[in-house]
Structure 1
Amino acid sequence: MVARHDLTTDPGLQEALLQARRGTAFFARKLNELSDEQLDGDSLLPGWSRRHIAAHIGYNARAIARLIEWAATGVETPMYSSPTARNQEIDFGATLSPIALRNLTDHTAVHLSVEWRDLPDNKWSNQVKTAQGRTVPASETVWMRTREVWLHAVDLNNGATVSDIPAPILQRLLTDITGAWKTRGTDTGLIIEIEGTGTRYGDTTNPDAVIVTGPLTTITAWATGRDTITNTPTAPTWI
């Protein structure tokens, strides 16, 4: 019998799934506010139209669903056959008719949600491999999708801002970003400080480090490259 609710009983995972689905709904709302003609307009990502953003979100759902299928069956099913194939897929998707593009984002989101719903507790720890080559438990796919839908809703350039993203997601984003900087060594001489919290990231032992201070939303917008801060250097690349 097909499940009508998430099979996982883990409260943390249930909450994470809720945030991913809320982000998916938020992205869908911002996309549906755009007319067919407006899909041709520029996104906030250089070189990508809104069409590219929509296609990416659609194919990303399909790719993550493949990882859940991998976790469920044990049969290796990579997200993409290659980085080139991924890029070609997005470029193709951007050429679809408006109705086909909208159907792509809707149908793939539903498919992914169902794959998550039907994965039992004992499968969520099964290891899969991301497009970047990281080996992670299947549970990590929920965060992978959450990050994509919330940030790219902003990238649609349709009025959404980083301030629309829930604080727990911003906090985890900032942890991911600063962790990537540290791994690459690009955080040298840089300290990130969140106003009113005392939380600091980066080269905290360097007395000569540049300190970037601001509210969580401002700092995360800057760190993700979605905004600038006056008299502050451009944030290092993180993804």
Structure 2
Amino acid sequence: MGARTDLVTDPAVRADLLLARRGTSFWARELSRVPDAGLDEPSGLPGWSRRALVAHVGYNARAIGRLVEWATTGVETPMYASPQARNEEIEIGATLPPHALRHLSEHAAISLDVQWRDAPPTAWSAPVRTAQGRTVPLSATPWMRIREVWLHAVDLRTGATLAQLPGELADRLLADVVATWDRKGVGAGLALVDTDSGARYATAGPLTREVAAPRTALLGWATGRADLPGEEPAPAWL
């Protein structure tokens, strides 16, 4: 029997699955650089230890897997029972022994990848609901995972930087940040300008503020991971 491959035929979804898998490898590589004792140290996210971050990324894979189950079976399976349940899950997961925490990260990612691989083409247009309450097709879930693994790999503080993200991913993240601000009704009239490429990302409304910087610096500021001299913090993203 030959190797099993993705059943989805949409080239855009296939491309996102590839990017999610590359991001998973990037995350796994950076996590492997954290010694067990280093899991107790702070991550790059304020108030989050590396332990909590690893638990979050692991449980995020399981949560997205529930959306795949929802789309493939038609039985509603939310990502989390509630925001409180999500937070409690991370808190408990962060107390796991190092080997169990690493096992969670690795095997949750493998399980999600298998679910994606086996999802039939018809499932990818099925509506599911994100933890933020948005209804999206299953085809949006690889992008949800892409954001998690690539950015949180940098948040592990092992030396990885936003400059290591693929250029097309950085561009999509900037566009995603601005689109999210629009949905949340924040940052009206704000435009981001990537001085490396000249690309411009603007929220709705008359222009009131323009933030221009090289792509990596702009992405760090927009996602709340870096400051820009002379600029106030960016509106909250996720």
Name the TM-score class by shorter chain: over 0.9
Alignment of 1:45-194 (within 5 A): 45-194=45-194
| Residue matched to 1:232 | 231
> Any idea what the Cα deviations from partners look like across 1:79-133, whole Å, max 9, x if unmatched?
0000000000000000000000000000100000000000111111011111111
| Residue matched to 2:216 | 217
Do the aligned residues in 2 keep the contact of 1:191 with 1:204 (CA within 8 Å)?
A: no
| Residue matched to 2:6 | 6
| Residue matched to 2:200 | 200
State the percentage of identical aligned residues.
54
Distance 1:3 1:115 in 2: 15
Gaps of 5+ in 1: none
- Displacement of 1:238 after TM fit? 1.3
Distance change (3 Å), C-alpha of 1:78 and 1:204: closer
Do the aligned residues in 2 keep the contact of 1:187 with 1:202 (CA within 8 Å)?
A: no
Distance 2:140 2:190 in 1: 28
Distance 1:230 1:127 in 2: 42
- Displacement of 1:233 after TM fit? 1.4
Distance 1:211 1:68 in 2: 39
Do the aligned residues in 1 keep the contact of 2:189 with 2:205 (CA within 8 Å)?
A: no
Task: Give me the TM-score of the superposition, normalised by structure 2.
Answer: 0.95
| Residue matched to 1:41 | 41
Amino acid at match of 1:217: T
Of stretches 186-195 and 64-73 in structure 1, the one that deviates more from structure 2 is 186-195
Do the aligned residues in 1 keep the contact of 2:179 with 2:203 (CA within 8 Å)?
A: no
> RMSD of the alignment, in Å?
1.7
- Displacement of 1:204 after TM fit? 8.1
Q: How many residues align?
A: 238
Partner-residue secondary structure (3-state), 2:136: strand
Task: Give me the TM-score of the superposition, normalised by structure 1.
Answer: 0.94
Distance 1:161 1:193 in 2: 20
Partner-residue secondary structure (3-state), 2:188: coil
Do the aligned residues in 2 keep the contact of 1:3 with 1:117 (CA within 8 Å)?
A: no
- Displacement of 1:189 after TM fit? 4.7
Which stretches of structure 1, 4 residues or longer, exceed 6 Å deviation after superposition? none
Distance 1:10 1:62 in 2: 24
